[in-house]
């Protein structure tokens, strides 16, 4: 199947938790005029399907024998029915509305989402045939942004640690100058970074892992951070592409070579002109000293200069 050029808005879309059947997914999807790209991630795999107009038309005819409409006639209906399911607004078991229903079927290295609905009073069926996404897609859509999210959150924690330490120093200064706490329930112990890390690793983290062992959730803050990172990555990618399209600057070595070639051509023209003038005046012979070549100039040695000095050409003799 030919690949589809997906707009830059898809990578910037957040991963939304959705329930389809009895399975939990993180989903992001994009629907164009007559094409789409769907990504579904469960606890084992990243699933993907992307379709263009010709393939959508063929599958619709295969699943709906009586359908004779063009893709523009039914594609908007397909998007309207499946979007609530893929955006977490479809209710229990992926039900979109009324008779519309999305069910999940798994097989070896294949996952099918089957849609049953009604179009113009007649049954309309559709299937998303999802297969494991390639490693490159997983890296672009998940691994790289998640690594950047991890680094950003780590930096955020370090900033908060420093703020806590400054707060402790401020409180200590107040105490040393006679300030007293009026409500004992607000009293806290000085923050110890190493003790906090050890307590988090031994007590808090195991509880979080047990609670979210099979959970696929991203709260609104993480979704916003993910979208911000992807937008930044897309902006950097567009800048690199623009710089490549503009082309590299002329090479300095190549420019120097062209200048030397022009200089040699100019010297050869001068020598040819001198030989012609010498043939025209054979009776006059004047002994002239031979000019020595300078190491800094590419001028060629001549037996006799021109009868009249010529102006030097700009860019050839310096």
- Token pair for residue 292? 């020595």
Q: Where are the alpha helices (DSSP H) in the chain?
A: 9-12, 53-63, 71-86, 135-138, 144-176, 193-199, 205-211, 220-246, 252-280
Q: Kindly give the confidence (pLDDT) of every residue in the chain, 318 residues in length, as a single tens digit, with 9 standing for 90 and above.
A: 444 444 456 777 778 889 998 888 999 999 988 999 999 999 889 999 999 999 999 999 999 998 888 898 899 999 999 998 898 775 544 444 445 688 999 988 899 999 999 888 889 999 999 999 999 999 988 899 889 989 999 999 999 999 999 999 999 999 999 998 899 898 899 999 999 999 999 998 888 887 765 567 777 788 888 888 877 777 776 676 666 665 554 444 444 445 445 545 554 554 555 555 545 544 444 444 444 444 444 444 445 555 665 555 444 334
pLDDT at 207: 85
Query: HSE-up of 14 (CA within 13 Å, CB side)?
Result: 18
Ordered by where they begin, the domains of the chain are 12-133 (2.170.210.10), 137-179+189-233 (no CATH)
Task: Give the pLDDT of residue 61.
Answer: 93
SS3 75: helix
Given this model, what pLDDT does residue 195 score?
93
Q: Are 15 and 86 in contact (CB under 8 A)?
A: no
């Amino acid at each position: 199947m030919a690949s589809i050029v997906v707009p830059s808005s898809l990578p910037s879309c957040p991963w939304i938790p959705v329930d389809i059947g009895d399975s939990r997914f993180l989903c992001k999807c994009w629907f164009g005029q007559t094409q789409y790209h769907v990504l579904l991630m469960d606890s084992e795999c990243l699933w993907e399907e992307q379709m263009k107009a010709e393939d959508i038309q063929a599958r619709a005819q295969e699943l709906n024998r009586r359908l004779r409409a063009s893709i523009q006639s039914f594609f908007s209906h397909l998007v309207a029915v499946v979007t609530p399911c893929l955006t977490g607004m479809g209710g229990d078991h992926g039900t979109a509305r009324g008779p519309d229903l999305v069910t999940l079927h798994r097989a070896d290295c294949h996952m099918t989402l089957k849609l049953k609905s009604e179009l113009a009073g007649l049954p309309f069926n559709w299937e998303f045939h999802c297969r494991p996404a390639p490693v490159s897609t997983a890296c672009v859509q998940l691994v790289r942004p998640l690594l950047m999210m991890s680094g950003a959150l780590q930096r955020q924690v370090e900033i908060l640690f420093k703020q806590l330490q400054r707060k402790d120093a401020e409180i200590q200064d107040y105490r040393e100058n006679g300030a007293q706490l009026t409500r004992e329930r607000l009293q806290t112990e000085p923050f110890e970074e190493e003790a906090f890390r050890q307590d988090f690793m031994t007590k808090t983290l195991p509880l979080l892992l047990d609670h979210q062992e099979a959970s696929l959730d991203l709260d609104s803050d993480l979704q916003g951070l993910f979208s911000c990172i992807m937008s930044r990555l897309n902006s950097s990618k567009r800048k690199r592409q623009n710089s490549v399209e503009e082309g590299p600057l002329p090479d300095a070595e190549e420019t120097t070579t062209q200048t030397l070639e022009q200089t040699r051509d100019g010297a050869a023209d001068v020598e040819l002109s001198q030989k012609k003038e010498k043939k025209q005046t054979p009776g006059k012979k004047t002994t002239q000293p031979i000019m020595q070549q300078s190491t800094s100039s590419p001028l060629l040695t001549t037996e006799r200069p021109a009868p009249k000095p010529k102006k030097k050409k700009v860019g050839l003799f310096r």
